[in-house]
């Protein structure tokens, strides 16, 4: 007769718990709204970046 193998006990870490909660919240949000909701729509642009649109707004053309 063969000796039985010991089964590993499943341990849920804090990181696993956080990931599971995030996933559940995301799925619930998709259920409610039909799509994922993003709260940050516009990224902050650096003032150093050259932008023709901004220059056109500042200097009105005659």
DSSP string, the chain: -PPPPPPPPP---HHHHHHHHHHHHHHHHHHHHSS---S--SPPPPTTS--HHHHHHHS---
Residue 30, domain member (yes or no):
yes
**What integer is the mean pLDDT of 19-28?**
93
Residues in the chain: 62
| Residue 23 confidence class, pLDDT cut points 50, 70, 90 | very high
Q: Quote the mean pLDDT of the chain.
A: 84
Residue 17, domain member (yes or no):
yes
Instruction: Answer yes or no: are the C-beta atoms of 38 and 28 closer than 8 Å.
Output: no
Instruction: Answer yes or no: are the C-beta atoms of 16 and 22 closer than 8 Å.
Output: no
What pLDDT is recorded for position 36? 81
DSSP conformation class of 47? T
Count of the separate structural domains present in the chain:
1
Higher-confidence residue: 54 or 29? 29
Residue 53, domain member (yes or no):
no
| Residue 62 confidence class, pLDDT cut points 50, 70, 90 | low
Report pLDDT digits (tens) over 9-21.
Answer: 889 899 999 999 9
Residue span of the structural domain in which 34 resides: 12-39
């Amino acid at each position: 007769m063969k000796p039985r193998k010991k089964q590993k006990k499943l341990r849920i870490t804090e990181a696993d718990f956080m990931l599971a909660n995030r996933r559940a919240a995301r799925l619930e949000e998709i259920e409610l709204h039909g799509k994922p909701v993003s709260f940050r729509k516009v990224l902050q642009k650096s003032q150093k970046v050259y932008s023709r649109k901004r220059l056109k707004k500042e200097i009105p053309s005659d």
